Structure 1
Amino acid sequence: MTKFSRSGPIAAAALCALTAGAASAQDFTSANGDTVHFYGQLNLGYLGFDDGQDTDNAFGNVGNSTSRLGFTLDHDADIGAVRFRFETGLGLGSTGSFSQSGDDPEVIDWNRRQLRKLEVVLTNDYGVFSVGQGSMATDGAGGLDDSGTTLAGTKSFGDVAGSYLFRNADGTLSSLSVSDVFHNTDGSRRMRVRYDTPEYYGFTVGAAYGREVLAEDNDNDYYDAAVNWAGDVGDFKIKASVGANWVDQADDAGTEKTGVASATIMHASGVNLTLAGGGDFNSSGDWEYAKLGYTTASWTQVGETSVAVEYLETDDYGVEGARGEAWGLLLTQKIKPLNAEAYVGYRHYDVSAPGASFQDAQSLLIGSRWSF
């Protein structure tokens, strides 16, 4: 069975708009030197998912880098540089929310969960102090990736096709989804207070405490910390991060503990390597991700071309004893005259679990992002 989502019309119109031309983000500076910067992006694409028996087709917002609008207000104060940031998703139906069940997301469904950032950030000689809705210290700690192919694919497989279900060997749909099996322990955004130290020989340390205020019935307390390093070693540019998360569950239900780490290495030749992984300290769940890529500006005249091959392995996510293996081929082409990128990502999924047998699945993502 092949179907097309209700987001098709808006996605098609938006993708056509990408070819109409590029706009530039605008900066406005007041007489006292305060600067307002407006920005945004539209990232839409086609997703085809083959569960081994049927193929499902969808058009929508691509969660690897969701469509958004935002602005910053910068002010130089006596205590340091102060920035206010507001950023929201557009509420467009996401490819990660489609599935074979037919319960597709609305074309546009903006709600408070779309609020990404509403924060005040103070930067001075003592570090960076952040208050409000925004990134916890480990948000992105497992996602460092300089391959140039993150639009086509990252370690967060659920962002692209997370709601699709794997099909049992007998042809029936299981209750196990892509995001159930291909899980990761990266941090997130919360209403939080956060502190990051000044850089010292390439190192910074961050810590945060937050609450989930955008979802109902969540009274958990969230804590995390991360150590980051970035620097050059000969012809190599290296970034690395390692972090830990603690979630104190409401009603004295215990504390969830997870760890996460990643590193990305770019050689002057354009060859790059990304490694990431993490796990649950309370259980045996763990995941490992690797990506080998190449970036060059010599293949086209419109911008850099990046290609990569990726591999993700997970254990004990979704159901006890489950094992997920997936590999992918990724391509991203920058289109500088339009301030845009076009990308393609193919993935193959293999899942096993005690007492169950699943058919292999495949997905194909084709999309474009326009930024301003």
Structure 2
Amino acid sequence: MRISREFVSGFGIIAAALILISPAAAADLGGNCCADLEERIAELEATTARKGNRKVSLTISGWVNENLIVWDDGTEHNAYVGTNSVEQSRFRFVGEAKITSDVSAGYLLEIGVQGHPSNQWNQNSPSSSSSNPNNQDNQLLVRKSYWYVKSQEWGQVAVGQNGTATYHLLDDADFTLTRNVDDAEGAAIYLSQFQLRADGNPIGSPALRWTDVLRGFNNSTPGDSGRRNVVRYDSPIYQGFSWAAAWGEASLWDIALQYKNTIGDFDVLVRGGYGQSNNPGTQFSGTPSTYVAGGTACISSSTTTASLPNFRCDWGGAAATIMHKPTGLFVFGGWGTQHIDTGNPTTEQQLIEPVSNVWFIQPGIEQKWISLGKTNIFGEYRHDDAGSNPGKTVSSTINFWQGGIIQYIDAAEMTLYAVYEHADGDVFGNSVTATSGAPVGKTSLDAFQAGIFGAKINF
């Protein structure tokens, strides 16, 4: 296995950052700390967020998450810098007001911010070529926008653009530092738009990408849903148990169950859920230059307009994390599935394999060994048995191997991370896909390696 010098350089960047952050580097405030106090107060007053409704609170928060990715596809290698799409940079406005001692109402508005989104990078350029505004360079996008009414006794009802009940179904079963660095979707997101190679040559015309041979409508991970315009209910927590349900456009509905508790020396979090939708959207070619405005629940798994009548998509999965508190040893793992029924005899012939499955396991250790904060060292294996991508693939088998280290810095609410990823597998095609996608039979993919180095800082 060949690991380029850039990988070593990336780890050096993380190490240098840790060395610089020490008590000796703290600012010397000296005796002039209060000399400009009035000026600073005036400045703060001038920049304070104003609120029109003084009965509703306003809290502004978010984070910036930028990274360097060094990649090697066996033929080419390069290094790109931009926004980490696993947990993109964002800012959030949250407000709430008490109605009674138990009932309150509020709102949440979350805006995503991206420079060069890493899930749009390929061998040709780190600049996005997508005409989907959500995937373009230097964009703001509305991630969530909803109001809610909640009660400690009865739970919460929210209306607007929000995560469905199975949004991040698998990811949110992870309560360790890997959640915002390398969750269940991370392995697929980091490779996303990079082109596949076999014996050094691109596959198909236009060249197939990793996202083409993976299935799952949310970040190529079966079992996870996305953000949609929905009515969502979240129950109160009872002895560690809670549940959520959502209903929205295109007859989308889903439900999720969760159990979170401490049992003896172990922290436990378990999640499971199921969802369904009957709208695949309109024509979608799957190339970066085309998209369907607004998206739909199963758009990434149905690529022909002929599938519109009687279409149905089902998805579900389960995941859990168990951590031994005295040692910090943990295991995070899960399984997800997605089934497509096109409801049309023509497209049914192209959808030879309607089921896509993924499973993964991520063992590691998380402890506070140094005064800066907790350190997480982990490894991961993920395996995808992906179903058909009509006109492009019959099926595929993909393997991901990952390992990394994460350092949290308490004083700055900052996360430094370094992750190594290796991906390989096989893609299967037939006479239909051979025209512009996978060749007939099995094609073994060239291994793809990537080193991801970056930081996420909260505010």
Which interval holds the TM-score relative to the shorter structure? Answer: 0.7 to 0.9
Work out whether residues 181 and 314 of structure 1, in 8 Å CA contact, stay in contact via their aligned partners in 2: no
Q: 2:112 aligns with which of 85, 89, 99?
A: 89
Q: 1:209 aligns with which of 247, 253, 266?
A: 247
Q: Does 1:303 find its partner at 2:373?
A: yes
Residue 216 of structure 1: aligned partner: none
For the aligned residues, what is the CA RMSD? 2.8
What CA distance in whole angstroms lies between the structure 2 residues aligned with 1:266 and 1:146?
Answer: 9
Q: 1:131 to 1:103 in 2, by over 3 A?
A: same
Cα distance per residue 1:78-100 (max 9 Å; x no partner) = 37121211110013221111001
Cα distance per residue 1:126-185 (max 9 Å; x no partner) = 111011111110112111212312343222123323111121125335533233344312
Of 358-367 and 78-87, the range deviating more from structure 2: 78-87
Deviation at 1:321, TM superposition (A): 3.1
Q: 1:130 aligns with which of 147, 154, 158?
A: 158
Work out whether residues 213 and 427 of structure 2, in 8 Å CA contact, stay in contact via their aligned partners in 1: no
Residue 344 of structure 1: aligned partner: 418
- Per the alignment, in what secondary structure is the counterpart of residue 177 of structure 2? coil
Of 320-329 and 220-229, the range deviating more from structure 2: 220-229
Q: 1:53 aligns with which of 50, 72, 75?
A: 75
Work out whether residues 21 and 338 of structure 1, in 8 Å CA contact, stay in contact via their aligned partners in 2: no
One-letter amino acid of the counterpart of residue 311, structure 2: G
Q: 1:150 aligns with which of 179, 189, 214?
A: 179
What CA distance in whole angstroms lies between the structure 2 residues aligned with 1:238 and 1:334?
Answer: 21
What CA distance in whole angstroms lies between the structure 1 residues aligned with 2:54 and 2:412?
Answer: 34
Structure exhibiting the larger radius of gyration computed from Cα positions: 2
Deviation at 1:302, TM superposition (A): 0.9
Deviation at 1:73, TM superposition (A): 0.7
- Per the alignment, in what secondary structure is the counterpart of residue 304 of structure 1? strand
Residue 77 of structure 1: aligned partner: 99
Segments of 5+ residues of structure 2 without an aligned counterpart are: 5-16, 28-47, 130-135, 215-219, 282-307, 341-353, 429-440
Work out whether residues 132 and 192 of structure 1, in 8 Å CA contact, stay in contact via their aligned partners in 2: yes
TM-score normalized by the length of structure 1:
0.85
TM-score normalized by the length of structure 2:
0.69
Q: 1:258 aligns with which of 301, 315, 327?
A: 315
Work out whether residues 358 and 385 of structure 2, in 8 Å CA contact, stay in contact via their aligned partners in 1: yes
What CA distance in whole angstroms lies between the structure 2 residues aligned with 1:278 and 1:158?
Answer: 14
Q: 1:184 aligns with which of 212, 221, 231?
A: 221
Q: 1:225 to 1:344 in 2, by over 3 A?
A: same
> What's the % identity of the aligned pairs?
22
What CA distance in whole angstroms lies between the structure 1 residues aligned with 2:189 and 2:119?
Answer: 5
Q: 2:251 aligns with which of 175, 197, 221?
A: 221
Aligned residue runs from structure 1 range 278-357, under 5 A: 278-282=336-340, 283-298=354-369, 300-317=370-387, 319-354=393-428, 355=441, 356-357=443-444
Work out whether residues 68 and 88 of structure 1, in 8 Å CA contact, stay in contact via their aligned partners in 2: yes
Work out whether residues 133 and 190 of structure 1, in 8 Å CA contact, stay in contact via their aligned partners in 2: yes
- The structure whose residues are more often helix, as a share, is 2
Cα distance per residue 1:181-229 (max 9 Å; x no partner) = 4431201111110112222222112110123xxxxxxxx3321111111
What CA distance in whole angstroms lies between the structure 2 residues aligned with 1:21 and 1:210?
Answer: 51
Segments of 5+ residues of structure 1 without an aligned counterpart are: 3-14, 212-219
One-letter amino acid of the counterpart of residue 74, structure 2: G
> Relative contact order (C-alpha < 8 Å, sep 6+): which is higher?
1
Work out whether residues 74 and 200 of structure 2, in 8 Å CA contact, stay in contact via their aligned partners in 1: no
Query: Structure 1 stretches (4+) deviating beyond 4 angstroms?
Result: 18-22, 26-33
Deviation at 1:276, TM superposition (A): 1.2
Deviation at 1:350, TM superposition (A): 1.1
Aligned residue-pair number: 343
- Per the alignment, in what secondary structure is the counterpart of residue 114 of structure 2? coil
What CA distance in whole angstroms lies between the structure 2 residues aligned with 1:180 and 1:52?
Answer: 19
One-letter amino acid of the counterpart of residue 169, structure 1: D
Q: Does 1:277 find its partner at 2:364?
A: no
One-letter amino acid of the counterpart of residue 147, structure 1: T
Work out whether residues 73 and 83 of structure 1, in 8 Å CA contact, stay in contact via their aligned partners in 2: yes
Q: 1:169 to 1:108 in 2, by over 3 A?
A: closer
Q: Does 1:368 find its partner at 2:455?
A: yes
- The structure whose residues are more often strand, as a share, is 1
